Structure 1
């Protein structure tokens, strides 16, 4: 009988595991409690977190219990993993606000009713620790020599690693120990950049409790060139519809590279694998059908079927030169704000982050207004550029924005 381990392996999630045979057997024979940590450093989760939410959903569907651990305590320090600079520190109020936003987003994929999943905050135990006791109980089990060989610290050592950040691995290890003691949690999962931190927790439980504990990391969501997915010229692709509209979200997936379609369908949708392979094998212009399925399925999971339908209709209407603009990201300007250059308008309406970005786009021939290519970066925008109070901006081939006059 196939277990969730086989599902995760077949769909391409698993990158590294601490004890492969034991984990396979455990997931097949028992219903376990596992956890994934999320640092509440923003007020929305993004596409990188989405992959981890999918893993939690697959695990829960097979009867295992997820714990979404919010790093309310660790966020006050900042995780050095994958970072060359030190993270900014947040207040308790900011962290709480972010945590509340996360729970709403988790609930789209994970059932928290009747204790089927838990959301826990490590601030509950980290913020009241006695430092000397912590060092005596936990610090004694960590070798500094070994910690310094960890990838997450190596990168930071070149710029300067603070003692504050050096504590992070101890705290993450201690989180696993606490969750093991309180909830019987035996498996920590996370992105592959967390491997060193996960190992430290597995090792700590085995030393302190003389009990088995396990770790598993997932493939990071990267494109065929190895770059992290989920970034656009406007920044991260967020799961909050106020930060990334359902239409923009849909368009992001509609425009992924041909080589990335099958991987994204496997990791980010619940479509059966034979259908994923069928779609992934499409060639030439037919691959666009697979991209439409990907965009629709992912938007449906995060924003609802209704929003996915609206985004799909808007994308098709725009592609066919139709007039349905209801789902296109829209910014409003007052009449008196007109008379500025196109580059200023794009920055003022937050369509692009900087004038430099706008100038580059125009130089590369990637900007059109109402289907006419813009060649002059000093072009002055007046009411004449609007049709019935509306102007359609296209960046590149498929990114649309609309500006309306208030």
Structure 2
């Protein structure tokens, strides 16, 4: 098999594909033009999309040419959801999100060299197409019985599905045909939840243009209990730092389960097989050291936000638990820690007892006073001696933040207003 596909299989990145032998032979012929699409259904891409983005980078690093499609047209419709009809966003909002997502995904691939990446928007070839042309040139190639058999459509039929969402597969399939005609693209990648749409595009090209093209899909990542990866109690882990801070992203990957951390390393890290296998052994032999988790958190935060933000996240992680200098943390980093570990605002005349409760470190003022009396309560890593101490600005980080800790592990932040 092709060496690239062999590595992708080892990393668990191939869930579905057209003929793998034919795909491998195609990749061996030279630089292949491929595409992956992102619909602007939110203002940011997330960790699930990052799987596709990094796959595109792996393919580009192997000499192939990526085309990154942002769906200005398909984003106006929305792929059918199992839970019911999507809310249709305004054109203005979708176009705004297109620009944001284009900017985000373009940071991960190179736009220079012989296999430079290209950004495309399917609104460019869809917006001016007439209904008659769409029905004659695209719709006639889609048997309704096969469309009805699609899993998501079949599950939605009883409750109801609009013609708009039912026809989404035609739009995405048309993208593959248009990109093949315009640029000679012969491979599409995506997530396994998109495999029905991806395969339909392959079939459309075979039926309408008598062209053979290729496709592959990655599996959807899950946690050990089978639930979807990339969700926290606070919600989706976004790549936009204004939605998910670098500190929060670092903590998310640092907390990866032992049972899944090696799987995540294979997908999100560019470490070699030998390095990952060594981390796998370390996890089995000394899981308490969490070497694989630290490597995963380091690598993902580096890739998404850069080394400086990763260093800040590591410093913050250590400092709030008493293993570093809190005074060196920036105000932005402390704000992100506040949103991640929990806490609340306190009035200007609040005492450390009030702050311990507000930060969620203790349940009551009585418990706060007991912790202080026992010598187990800390303000900005300094043991609290006086339960009546008022949180004056000069005693706080950046004049407003109080990192409160009880013992070694219970931490929260209060912000003085």
Match of 1:317 in 2: 319
CA distances 1:281-325 after superposition (whole Å, capped 9, x unpaired): 223444512111111111000000111111111112223454525
Match of 2:59 in 1: 59
Preserved contact between residue 320 and residue 403 of structure 2 (Cα < 8 Å): no
Match of 2:37 in 1: 37
With the length of structure 2 as denominator, give the TM-score of the two structures: 0.82
Do the aligned partners of residues 103 and 112 (structure 1) sit closer, same or farther apart at CA in structure 2, a change above 3 Å counting?
Answer: farther
Within the candidate set 303, 306, 325, 2:305 is matched to 303
Equivalents in 1 of 2:84, 2:404: separation in Å? 36
Match of 1:250 in 2: 250
Equivalents in 2 of 1:91, 1:263: separation in Å? 38
Structure possessing the higher radius of gyration over alpha carbons: 2
Do the aligned partners of residues 311 and 264 (structure 1) sit closer, same or farther apart at CA in structure 2, a change above 3 Å counting?
Answer: same
Q: Secondary structure at the match of 2:41?
A: coil
Of the structure 1 ranges 383-392 and 234-243, higher mean CA displacement relative to structure 2 is found in 383-392
Of the structure 1 ranges 148-157 and 22-31, higher mean CA displacement relative to structure 2 is found in 148-157
Whether 2:403 is the aligned partner of 1:403: answer: no
Match of 2:372 in 1: none
Equivalents in 2 of 1:219, 1:398: separation in Å? 36
Do the aligned partners of residues 210 and 314 (structure 1) sit closer, same or farther apart at CA in structure 2, a change above 3 Å counting?
Answer: same
Displacement after TM superposition at 1:43 (Å): 1.5
When the two chains are superposed, the root-mean-square deviation of aligned CA atoms in Å is 3.0
Do the aligned partners of residues 399 and 178 (structure 1) sit closer, same or farther apart at CA in structure 2, a change above 3 Å counting?
Answer: farther
Equivalents in 1 of 2:32, 2:159: separation in Å? 40
Match of 1:139 in 2: 139
Gaps of 5+ in 1: 346-366
Q: How does 1:76-155 map to 2 (within 5 A)?
A: 76-80=76-80, 82-113=81-112, 116-155=116-155
Equivalents in 1 of 2:79, 2:349: separation in Å? 43
Whether 2:22 is the aligned partner of 1:22: answer: yes
Gaps of 5+ in 2: 369-387
Match of 2:260 in 1: 260
Preserved contact between residue 279 and residue 287 of structure 1 (Cα < 8 Å): no
Match of 2:381 in 1: none
CA distances 1:256-280 after superposition (whole Å, capped 9, x unpaired): 1111110111100101111112112
Q: Secondary structure at the match of 1:35?
A: strand
Displacement after TM superposition at 1:3 (Å): 3.0
Match of 2:293 in 1: 291
Count residues in correspondence.
Answer: 375
Equivalents in 1 of 2:251, 2:411: separation in Å? 9
Whether 2:363 is the aligned partner of 1:374: answer: yes
Whether 2:347 is the aligned partner of 1:335: answer: yes
Match of 2:378 in 1: none
